[in-house]
Structure 1
Amino acid sequence: MKRVVITGMGALTPIGNNLNDYWTNLKAGVSGAGEITRFDTSKFKTHFACELKDFNLEDHIPRSESRKYDRFTSYALVAVEEAVKHAGINFEELNRNKIGVIWGSGNGGIETFTEEMIDYAKRDENPRFNPFFIPKIIADIASGVISMKYGLRGINFTCISACATGTTAIIDAFNYIRWGKANMIITGGSEAPITAAGLGGFNASRALSTNNEEAATASRPFDKTRDGFVMGEGAGALVLESYEHAMARGANIIAEVAGGGMAADAYHLTGTHPEGEGAVLGMHEALEDAEIKAEDIDYINLHATSTPVGDQSELVAMQRVFGDTPRVKASATKSMTGHLLGAAGAIEAIASIKAIEEGIIPPTINTKEVDEEWAGKFDLTLGKAQKHDIRYAMSNTFGFGGHIATAIFKRFE
């Protein structure tokens, strides 16, 4: 099968509106959490999230166009535009019949749906709907709009696997390219869940932190006092292409996709398996696919949402795969970005790739006291970034419904 390389990346995150700012703030341990500014949260248990900062959509997309899209689609377009520029692509010179888009979003247009239903309730005697209502809410529209913008006629679809979605999209793109079904695929994920419905729904499922007094440090993976995840928004985009295609067009190759593994917990609607069954299987599948052993992994970007049950099950899975005293280094970047749900795997893949590229492991911030059971067993890169030679990096993502996706990236050689 063909080798698959990464030649471009783009990021729109709560700690940086472009790739460079995102990575700079990851290394510096900047928290993206703060009071929600988009709507009144006084009636909710949680009042904070990781919103984008100083971001003006009209700086990127004209109002005449963006009005047709939900925020999650607009976020996708912004991140993809950066990734395309980063990859130095001139689509006019390439066979666009063999260039595809595989995108991901866990919620699709939840903001649009919320707003339209509120408006419908107010107009129950004379209902009116936005003519763009349906295309704005369907989750697959982002991949379609990306293809329309660049004239890409290859493989095109959207995958949904809850919070594993971004990684699932990357693995799918990896597979289609190495099978020879595409020369290049734009992949990643976007999410815009910070809405009244999103906040209320996750509050109801008791998944969100309610630590309003310490919002900036509320995302604290593995800490004894963790009480839930902090919701985030944004997008991450990657340009994947076959090694031959990249070399033929003289592309700068950033890193290589080594392997991917997908599995299921088959256990609970929203909770992870206490013994990490799906996570173990997913990591083993990824290692087998990459044709390496657990000891070859130099860094793991953990799923680590800061929920009491989820963090525990991931560490159990880590122990089962890597042993009692693994030398592998790990970190939880959601401590800074919050949880971008369907886009989490995309921005965390970018963090893993940048870690390989620069030999720097971004930190886990806010975590002060790890559960006694795990204290000293794993190097969670607490507090500050560390320099480390990284050849292979693993990125874990798990989603409601028991979905598991693990990707492995490697230094390009």
Structure 2
Amino acid sequence: MGRVRVAAGATRRALPFLLRGLVSSAVALVLLIRVLLVAAFTLIGVGWPAIPSTVRAVRRWAGDERRRVAAWTGRPVPAPYPPPIPDDPAIPTRALLAEPATRRDLAWLLVHGLTGLVAGFLAILLPLSVVNAAVVPVYWWAVPSDEPVQSPYPVTSWLGALGMLPLGLGWLVLTLVLVPLLARWQAGAAARLLAPTKDARLSERVTELTATRAAALEAHGAELRRIERDLHDGTQNRLVGVIMHLGIAERALRRDPASALPLLLKAQDQAADALSELRDVVRSIYPPVLAERGLDGALAALAARCAVPCTLRVDGLRRLPAALEAAAYFVVAEALTNTAKHSGADHAGVTVTLRPPAEPGDEEALVIEVRDDGHGGADESGGSGLAGIRRRVAAFDGHTDVTSPPGGPTVVRAVIPCAS
């Protein structure tokens, strides 16, 4: 009974998918006819202007199929297309025709247009056959004897009518087996044809890693420049002042020892200030609280010091590589600083979750979300620090999403992959 319930549930999910696929395949056939007509006119030299619009129409319908398959399987089907091409009347045509994704879209159009109709009609006929076999014994006797029920044989007696019941059971078994199988086949074929190829994914990955490396180098350079600026403008100037006052105190000791004490005390104060600034610089490189209390303890300290009332929720967190913990710490610190300075919020919330791998081969990911109830409208170009957060996260091959509509709320969400 458990298997029957599972099969029934799979069939209930597959039926709407195949019925929408029936409509989708009908549109695909219309587009296929359009493609063939454009190709025929192109052979005689008059179809070239219609190629870009035709290819884009196919892409739009292929995109709808990706969304349909993703909604049914729960796994996204990424588009394999490069960035948009300028609307030059000559360049798009050559570029669109040269793309492997265009040929794969056309292959999907042919396969889906021909097989989707068959799968959709089977998804209609099989359940109807089950229903028909179940109700024939109810009404066969009311049909005129010279025009008996044909389902699939003439039903002229109670014996023939009762014979429809095992036949209906057979239709039911076929429905429970074939309908989910057809749906899985249709979704798999669409995913294979409409998703990027392995070579395309590899090329995209290389491009992403190149951009990530550039972002990491830029973030590293910016961090070095900040440290140099802090040391030069703060600690170095303090130490120069200490040296000057010690030199003056030395000369005062030779002439008037009593006058040297205030100078020594002032030099001591400047040395203490220099040490404090140096500690601030060290904390900005790697906060000692991370080593002492871990990321959850360090974030708790950040939330407690935030000028806006802040709540912290940590889920499934464990010790991570030091560089990753430092990046997460500074992402939250910068986001809370933005909240205190720019949002006008009454409350902020920080959620940090260690997300397990979605599929075999994936990595764990540290998901950081900082939310406030301020007035929204955060602008990355306004020097709010969001660009720095984005660069810091990109250096770890992660991504950052910022949602800040006018009126709020503002949500900064960073996802950082972490090695096991």
Indicate the TM-score class for this superposition, using the shorter chain for normalisation: under 0.3
Higher helix share: 2
Larger strand proportion of the pair: 1
Q: Which has the higher contact order (CA 8 A, sep 6+)?
A: 1
TM-score, with normalisation over the residues of structure 1? 0.22
TM-score, normalising length: structure 2: 0.21
